[in-house]
Amino acid sequence: MVSAHYSITPPLQTSVMISVLNLRKQFSNIVAVDDVSFNAERGKIFGLLGPNGAGKTTTIRLLLNILSPDDGQITFDGFAFSSALQNKIGYLPEERGLYKKSKLLNTIIYFACLKGVSETEAKKLAKDWLARFDLLNYAERRIQELSKGNQQKVQFICSLIHNPEYVILDEPFSGLDPVNQLLMREIFLEQRKAGKVVIFSTHIMEHAEKLCDELVLINKGKIVPKAFGTMSEVKQRFGKNAIYIEFDGDGSFLSSMNNVSKCQLFQNYAELELNNDESPSEFLRTIVSKLNVTKFETKEPSLYSIFLELVGDASTSLSVTEKDGVQ
């Protein structure tokens, strides 16, 4: 559970695998991570969310001891990071970390062996993973010959092939087409079912909404107030008189209606928040003379609309879905 100033669960409690308390990191005049705290628990998917430049990647690098914090504490099952933990962690970096001239199969085997897997077992596991991602026919290709999406799949395989206890993924869906995004989500859920901790960062709200058990939103290095906890807790804090409509016609007038306090308008649908004293049924009667309404329902606000509200000017870095290779 995440809380605003976190009553951190004692680190020796077995349900908590990774505990972060009052983490801070500054580079020159920029505070990249400022008093960030959260717990990531066994058998749950934890989302580290926020716009580009929010501090997500820096937080992950602090978790992995790539960077040292200026202040704060990080524990894995009650212990500080150590070399003994390295083979228990599966890490997918945001940037490409593959040897471009190496062959695909050899690359995966190499990374598996670095994590303590025997070469014989690594070769078997690598072929199984390649088959699952429909890459077996590319096994003897060089990394540089692969598309961006296929390179991402190879990196993902390298992060999981040694069956890690701690799975930490930075923008894992980058460059993947919808079919492989679905496969990636399936594997996420398998990792959760296996009782592992899964931490992933993203600015793609659709992925977070479908996957996260718990989440925290970071902006400008800080945790955004009220944007922490379970998915339902976050939505309940912002779900005041929210409605969703789909329509045919020009819905541009919706954003200027007096009884609409907030409006996220899209091509043929909108997410609205009505004034507290406004009746949804009365509102529907008002707009049907101007629009052909094909769907109307009261619902929890989407993560996209919540974070757009919270992040403000940085909202241009938040996406509903990943398009055109945006990372």
Q: Are residues 266 and 174 in the same domain?
A: no
The verdict on 281 and 249 lying in the same domain is yes
Q: Is residue 85 part of a domain?
A: yes
Domain boundaries, position 37: 16-228
The reply to whether 258 and 195 lie within a common domain is no
69 and 209 share one domain: yes
Total domains in the chain come to: 2
Residue 311 belongs to some domain of the structure: no
At 15 the pLDDT is 54
Residue 2: is its pLDDT beyond 80? no
Greatest mean pLDDT range, 163-167, 202-206, 239-243: 163-167
Residue 81 lies in a domain: yes
Alpha carbon distance 252, 271 (integer Å): 12
pLDDT tens for each residue of 65-75: 999 999 999 99
Domain boundary among the residues 198, 228, 258 is at 228
| Cβ count within 10 A of residue 240 | 13
The per-residue DSSP string of 207-231 comes to HHHHH-SEEEEEETTEEEEEEEEEH
What confidence category does residue 195 fall into, taking pLDDT thresholds of 50, 70 and 90?
A: very high
How many whole angstroms separate alpha carbon 195 and alpha carbon 164?
11
Q: How confident is the model at residue 64 (pLDDT cuts 50, 70, 90)?
A: very high
Residue 167 has pLDDT above 60, yes or no: yes
227, 217 contact by CB (below 8 A): yes
Is position 7 within any domain? no
Domain co-membership, 21 together with 141: yes
269: domain CATH number is: 3.30.70
In this structure, what token pair is assigned to residue 249?
Answer: 């016609």
Query: Are 183 and 286 contained in the same domain?
Result: no
Distance separating alpha carbons of residues 59 and 170, to the nearest angstrom: 10
216 and 257 part of one domain = no
Q: Residue 139 is encoded by which pair of tokens? A: 């096994």
Confidence label for 313 from pLDDT (cuts 50, 70 and 90): low
- Do residues 127 and 141 make contact, with C-beta atoms less than 8 angstroms apart? no
Q: Please classify residue 127 by burial: count the beta carbons closer than 10 Å to its beta carbon, then call 0-12 exposed, 13-18 middle and 19+ buried.
A: middle
Q: Per residue in 73-120, pLDDT tens?
A: 999 998 899 888 989 999 999 887 788 899 999 999 999 999 999 999
- Residues 205 and 288 occupy one common structural domain: no
Q: Domain check: are 137 and 272 in the same one? A: no
The confidence score (pLDDT) of residue 302 equals 82
Asked, for residue 34, whether it belongs to a domain, the answer is yes
Using one digit for the tens of pLDDT, what is the confidence trace for 245-300?
999 999 999 999 999 988 889 989 998 988 877 888 899 999 998 999 999 998 77
Q: Region 195-221: what's the mean pLDDT?
A: 92
**Inside any domain, residue 327:** no
- 71 DSSP β-pair partners: 24
Element (H, E) at 136: none
Q: In whole angstroms, what is the distance from residue 108 CA to residue 98 CA?
A: 9
Residue 123 belongs to some domain of the structure: yes
The values of phi and psi at residue 91, to 5°, are -125, 125
pLDDT of residue 237: 83
Helix axes 148-160, 119-132, angle to 10 degrees: 140
Same domain, 129 and 250: no
15-19, 77-81, 242-246: least confidently modelled range: 15-19
**Co-location of 152 and 266 in the same domain:** no
C-alpha span between 16 and 1 (Å, rounded): 10
Counting beta carbons within 10 angstroms of the beta carbon of residue 325, is it exposed (0 to 12), middle (13 to 18) or buried (19 or more)?
Answer: exposed
| 23 located within any domain | yes
Q: For residue 115, what is the domain's CATH number? A: 3.40.50.300
| Domain boundary pick from 178, 197, 228 | 228
42, 161: one domain: yes
Mean pLDDT of the chain: 87
